[in-house]
């Protein structure tokens, strides 16, 4: 069975675009293309044809290259959330919870994960036979060490969305759309300072960023240990937020991060 190759492309100041490549058939799909040039360059280097654009939400730094890519690859299919209809350029397929998308001979399950926006979705590719972990493309819902701001959604929606994602296997690779990890962990230390796994991760990320290395993908098991926005039910964070209610605890953590 062919293995889907994942290429991480830099875009804008801190965005990541993900190119999914089927080397057997020389087909590719792209996740959240902020800019066209990095995608064109990668496709040319691989000798691949773009067949699909997978958007997680409508923000410009995730859909900015859709029209340029379609101009060169007019047969490419544009996927996005059903509730984003009219907001994603070139969208042709409108996805909801439980739908599946097949690209590069891999099938992804769609999760509705509103919070950052009202129509945000995520794509989860389960592990292939003989491999350890699946691949989660979560846009701006879950970050390495953090989560997205609540622009259109509510804390209750975001808790429900993150609950769906944290139920995935620990070995899941988390392909989030921004290089925010170091700043996220610096904030996390202000609310969870006695977490030894968090301190170790912060030191490792500091070293990686000094070497200009990417910190994406992350591992979901590590997120569960160190990301405060997946740990609203931990007593240490409940004490910091003075609440044992999951939504209120999360909301107070998110408010603290917004003001940090």
> pLDDT tens digit string along 207-255?
999 999 999 999 999 999 999 999 999 999 999 999 999 999 999 999 9
Query: Which one from 7, 21, 116, 120 is the annotated catalytic residue?
Result: 116
**H or E stretch including 208?**
helix 196-210
Q: Considering the entire predicted model, what is its pTM? A: 0.96
CATH (one of 2.40.50.100, 3.40.250.10, 3.90.1170.50, 3.60.15.10) for 5-259: 3.60.15.10
* Tokens 């042709």 -> residue: 92
Query: Which one from 7, 21, 62, 120 is the annotated catalytic residue?
Result: 62
Per the DSSP assignment, residues forming a β-bridge with 103 are 106
Query: What is the DSSP track for 7-46?
Result: EEEEETTTEEEEEEEETTTTEEEEES-S-SHHHHHHHHHH
**Would residue 140 show up in a list of annotated catalytic residues for this protein?**
yes
Domain ranges of the chain: 5-259
Q: What is the pLDDT of residue 81?
A: 98
**Would residue 116 show up in a list of annotated catalytic residues for this protein?**
yes
> pLDDT tens digit string along 120-171?
999 999 998 877 899 999 999 999 999 999 999 999 999 999 999 999 999 9
**Would residue 120 show up in a list of annotated catalytic residues for this protein?**
no
**Would residue 7 show up in a list of annotated catalytic residues for this protein?**
no
């Amino acid at each position: 069975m062919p293995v889907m190759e994942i290429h991480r492309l830099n875009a804008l100041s801190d965005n990541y675009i993900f190119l999914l490549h089927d080397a057997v058939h020389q087909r590719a799909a792209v996740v959240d293309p902020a800019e066209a040039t990095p995608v064109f360059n990668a496709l040319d280097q691989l000798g691949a044809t773009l067949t699909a654009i997978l958007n997680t939400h409508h923000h410009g730094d995730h859909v900015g290259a859709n029209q340029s890519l379609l101009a060169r690859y007019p047969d490419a299919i544009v996927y996005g959330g059903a509730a984003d209809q009219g907001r994603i350029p070139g969208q042709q397929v409108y996805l909801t919870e439980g739908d599946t998308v097949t690209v590069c001979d891999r099938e992804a399950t769609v999760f509705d994960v509103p919070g950052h926006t009202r129509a945000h979705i995520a794509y989860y590719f389960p592990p292939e036979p003989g491999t350890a972990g699946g691949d989660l493309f979560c846009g701006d819902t879950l970050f390495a060490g953090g989560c997205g701001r609540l622009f259109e959604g509510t804390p209750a929606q975001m808790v429900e969305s993150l609950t769906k994602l944290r139920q995935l296997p620990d070995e899941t690779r988390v392909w989030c759309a921004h290089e925010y990890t170091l700043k996220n962990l610096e904030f996390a230390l202000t609310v969870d300072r006695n977490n030894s796994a968090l301190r170790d991760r912060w030191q490792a990320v500091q070293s990686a960023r000094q070497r200009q290395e990417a910190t994406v993908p992350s591992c979901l098991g590590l997120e569960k240990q160190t990301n405060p926005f997946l740990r609203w039910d931990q007593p240490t964070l409940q004490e910091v937020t003075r609440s044992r209610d999951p939504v209120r605890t999360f909301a107070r953590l998110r408010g603290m991060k917004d003001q940090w």
